[in-house]
Structure 1
Amino acid sequence: LYSLYSPYGNLNLKPETATNVEAGVQIFGKTTRQFIRMVYFNRRLRDVVFFQSLTAAPFGNYVNLNRQDDQGLELDGAYAVGRWQFSANYTFLTGQVTAWQGNGRDTSYNNLLRRPRGAFNATVSYTVLPKLTLSTSVRAVSSRKDAFFNDETFKTEQVELASYATVDVYAEYRFSPRLRAFADLRNLTNERYFDVYGFANRRFNGTGGVLLSW
């Protein structure tokens, strides 16, 4: 509804349609906390909804890209021993977006807009005390393509978003099953990066607090 009726909406939008094929295998260790999994996927999308930038108000709206085809491989695993827990995942993705320009012509973008060819995540957790847990997470993302409206040339142009890596640290202390305190520090390396061109993500930041549930 937002894509249709918001200030950035487009009443001529068509709904996305998709065909997905997945095949995978998973191997467990001695417990379900120890496993390795591999999944191959192939997706075909039509009338993909995409947000484009404009030079005039409302300075952006939603449009349909005609076709998106992508395929890739996902690997993930976890291992727990004693007080240590390890988990990691990697996604390899490749594909093509095709936008029809009219008059029998089209424009194809190798790889996918805002989607990295490779993305890696890993987390290491350690239970210091029965009630105190510390964890560190690493995320690495390869370069991606994006599209933006250039108000100097009045054309939609492609730009490359640089690869980046971030490190986060999390600590939690459980006073009881219903009460816990936490501290969450993100982007410790103060990395400056973009997931969408022109909109920087947060650099080093942190949160903390006490959570009560019932």
Structure 2
Amino acid sequence: MSGDGRQVDGTAADSGPAADSGVAAVAGPAAGRTWTLADSVALEARAYGWLILVVLPVLSLLPTVVGLVVVLVGGDVTVADATSTLWWVVLVPLVSAIPAFVATALSLPVTWAVGNRLRRVRSDRAHVAWTALTAAVLAVVSTAVAALLLAGGYGDPLVYVGSALPMGLAAGVAGALARRGQLRGARRRDTAEPTPEPPPTAPPEALV
């Protein structure tokens, strides 16, 4: 199957020393999995959409929810204070859109390399987990480096890494959702495609 879960023929599993020596290629879900640049671009686009349109707005809404809960239980936070944080739902994705797009483009080679290494892995859960981990690590590194550069290199680098952890969490969730959707979409396409009919057999020779 391909990087998005589709089955292909004539892959590396059918060639190489094993095939040349007469050893049968391994069959099953792991055989024939490929990962192309188009798969990487599609995954990055999905993850970016999830990040900007869903994950960041939801995470930005959490302070508002917490503030409203405090109001309901009789805290000192006013409704105006709680509702003012609604701006974060719009502001955070807007501010993050361009940096996240740049980080997505720069991480494309890493995404391709990781996907290529996982092409023989059968478990969809492993693909989702590794995609989430890769996205989280790349987001933490890129965010910390950007913050460090903007600060002129002053301060403890671990502080910048700590401040980048929320973005890493958001990117990891977005990456997992994107990979899961990519795999599920491929399964649906595989199910919808008609099964090729076997080639016709030659009629038996007439008996003399």
The structure whose residues are more often helix, as a share, is: 2
Structure with greater Cα Rg: 2
TM-score, length-scaled by structure 2: 0.25
Higher RCO structure, 1 or 2 (CA under 8 Å, sep 6+): 2
